[in-house]
Amino acid sequence: MSDARTYDAVVVGAGVFGAWTAYNLARQGSRVFLADAFGAANSRASSAGESRIIRMSYGGDEIYTRWSMRSLDLWRQFCEETGARLFHRTGVLWLTRDTDPMALATLATFAKVGVPHRKLSHDEISRRFPMIASQDSECAIYEPESGALMARRAVQTVVDEFQKYGGTYQIAEVEAPGGRGRASAVTTWSGESLRADAYIFACGPWLPKIFPALLGQRIFPSRQEIYFFGVPPGDRSYSLGNFPTWLDVGSLMYGIPDIEGRGFKVASDAHGPAVDPNTLERVAGETLPLVRDYVRRRFPGLRDAPVIESRVCQYENTSNGDFLIDRHPDFENVWLVGGGSGHGFKHGPALGEYVARLVLEGGKTDPRFSLASKQTVQKRSVY
Ligand SMILES: Cc1cc2nc3c(=O)[nH]c(=O)nc-3n(C[C@H](O)[C@H](O)[C@H](O)COP(=O)(O)OP(=O)(O)OC[C@H]3O[C@@H](n4cnc5c(N)ncnc54)[C@H](O)[C@@H]3O)c2cc1C
């Protein structure tokens, strides 16, 4: 006789990937146990923090443009159903150049799949957004429907809704299954046994720690910093409603307008040093000189703006930036879901739908998401 608790699926990790996977499974009637070692969108998780960009531009990577479009529909639908204000349609502005191959490929993809957008000349950027110092040689692609997601709150709301569909959510650290073939149970750190038909490990930057032999050199968590600059008193021009979410292709900087008074968000997308998400000391400062210099040049009105908040987070990079969604090669019923890198958050809803379908209906993952497509990653430091 076994005292294990029995489910259709155990989802390990309540970040944006695990939360949406568990929610989709529960919504379709599965009995699901969702475990997180530190809690949904906890401060160590890649899904933590205030906000994330949702944009459609992915150059010629049509699959991600389509997933973004699908996800935006699902995020909106979720907001309507729950009444939660988790998405802000700020518009997204890509600052780029006419000759940039990524911009040209993005425009071709937008035309093909029907993403609403406008191309802005340097003069138009200056007229519409006079707070941005843009150069003559620059242009922009503007996505009016895209914007910002309230990250931590969104994940926690998905987990709340998951429980309303009958899902069980618990703070628990789950260990990797042993043996091979068909995993019969997994065990929590406190010794509880959980039995299920399928086990989905959506553990973001922890995946290489949980499966070191398999993923230790395939997923590389990198240290990333985020800064929130205080806008001038009484000045709404850098805030929601007046300023777009933006990305600057040339400098690898990106940001989100001041939402809920948290400040004007600016960060560098350049990959930082390799980190361990458990032990990383989260005190920002390494990229501050770079970011401050950029803010002074790009947004002269924020020249003297103080940093009013900062965060240290981690990307979980794969060799090609593609997600990992595949079966564990040693287990027919264990799924690995991660590799969100610096762009996974927005895709949570479409990814959750995709993983739930794979788990419930079987089938093969897209080759781009397969384990086989992931090269081993050189640990490196950019800044
Ligand atoms: C600074 C920064 C900026 C970003 N900006 C954007 C953006 O603008 N737009 C965008 O789309 N994406 C963005 N991303 C990427 C996006 O946030 C991530 O791809 C996404 O959040 C990854 O989610 P996840 O669920 O895979 O991982 P996580 O959110 O890290 O979730 C994994 C969870 O697993 C839990 N866990 C780990 N091990 C165990 C265990 N053994 N047992 C139980 N639980 C366990 C952890 O506690 C954690 O909660 C950004 C990321 C960062 C860090």
Domains and CATH numbers, the chain: 5-373 (3.30.9.10)
Q: Is the pLDDT of residue 291 over 50?
A: yes
Q: Kindly give the distance from the C-alpha atom of residue 315 to the centroid of ligand 1, in angstroms, as a whole number.
A: 7
Probe residue for ligand 1, chosen from 64, 252, 335, 345 as the CB with the greatest number of ligand atoms within 8 Å: 345
Q: Is the pLDDT of residue 383 over 70?
A: no
Minimum CA distance residue for ligand 1 atom 42: 173
- Say yes or no: CB of residue 100 within 6 Å of ligand 1: no
Q: Kindly give the distance from the C-alpha atom of residue 193 to the centroid of ligand 1, in angstroms, as a whole number.
A: 25
Mean pLDDT of 291-303: 98
Mean pLDDT of 325-351: 97
pLDDT per residue over 255-265, tens digit each? 999 999 999 99
Predicted confidence at residue 379, as pLDDT, reads 42
Q: Is the pLDDT of residue 61 over 70?
A: yes
Mean pLDDT of the chain: 95
Q: Is the pLDDT of residue 70 over 80?
A: yes
CB-based contacts of 17: which residues, under 8 Å, 6+ apart?
A: 47, 202, 204, 337, 338, 340, 344, 348, 351, 352, 355
- Say yes or no: CB of residue 19 within 6 Å of ligand 1: no
Q: Is the pLDDT of residue 372 over 90?
A: yes
Q: Kindly give the distance from the C-alpha atom of residue 46 to the centroid of ligand 1, in angstroms, as a whole number.
A: 3
DSSP-based three-state secondary structure for 274 = strand
Q: Are 383 and 270 in contact (CB under 8 A)?
A: yes
Q: Give Cα 336 distance to the centre of its chain.
A: 16
Q: Is the pLDDT of residue 1 over 50?
A: no
**93 token code pair:** 């502005």
Predicted confidence at residue 378, as pLDDT, reads 47
Mean pLDDT of 168-182: 96
List Cα–Cα distances, 379 to 15, 203, 220, 275, 376, in angstroms.
24, 20, 7, 10, 9
Mean pLDDT of 367-379: 79
Interatomic CA distance for residues 200 and 359, integer angstroms? 9
Local confidence band at 188 (pLDDT 50, 70, 90 cut-offs) = very high
Nearest atom in ligand 1 to the alpha carbon of residue 172 is 43
Q: Are 187 and 174 in contact (CB under 8 A)?
A: yes
- Say yes or no: CB of residue 42 within 6 Å of ligand 1: yes
Q: Which of 233, 279, 200, 241 is nearest to 19 (CA)?
A: 200
Q: Is the pLDDT of residue 380 over 70?
A: no
- Say yes or no: CB of residue 53 within 6 Å of ligand 1: yes
Neighbours of 303 (CB within 10 A): 10
Q: Kindly give the distance from the C-alpha atom of residue 284 to the centroid of ligand 1, in angstroms, as a whole number.
A: 18
- Say yes or no: CB of residue 158 within 6 Å of ligand 1: no
The percent of residues above 90 in pLDDT, for the chain, comes to 94
pTM: 0.97
Local confidence band at 216 (pLDDT 50, 70, 90 cut-offs) = very high
Predicted confidence at residue 3, as pLDDT, reads 60
Mean pLDDT of 225-243: 97
List Cα–Cα distances, 134 to 94, 121, 123, 129, 149, in angstroms.
12, 10, 9, 10, 26
The percent of residues above 70 in pLDDT, for the chain, comes to 97
User: What burial letters (b/e) apply to 336-372, b meaning 16+ CB within 10 Å?
Assistant: bbbbbbbbbbbbbbbbbbbbbebbbeeeebeeebebe
Q: Is the pLDDT of residue 339 over 50?
A: yes
224 sits in the region (left: phi over 0; alpha: psi -120 to 50; else beta) called: beta
CB-based contacts of 265: which residues, under 8 Å, 6+ apart?
A: 50, 51, 226, 227, 228, 255, 256, 257, 258
- Say yes or no: CB of residue 92 within 6 Å of ligand 1: no
- Say yes or no: CB of residue 255 within 6 Å of ligand 1: no
Local confidence band at 382 (pLDDT 50, 70, 90 cut-offs) = very low
What residue spans of the chain are helical by DSSP H? 16-27, 62-82, 101-113, 122-128, 151-164, 207-210, 212-215, 288-298, 348-361
Q: Is the pLDDT of residue 377 over 90?
A: no
**Dihedrals phi, psi of 77, to nearest 5 degrees:** -60, -40
- Say yes or no: CB of residue 374 within 6 Å of ligand 1: no
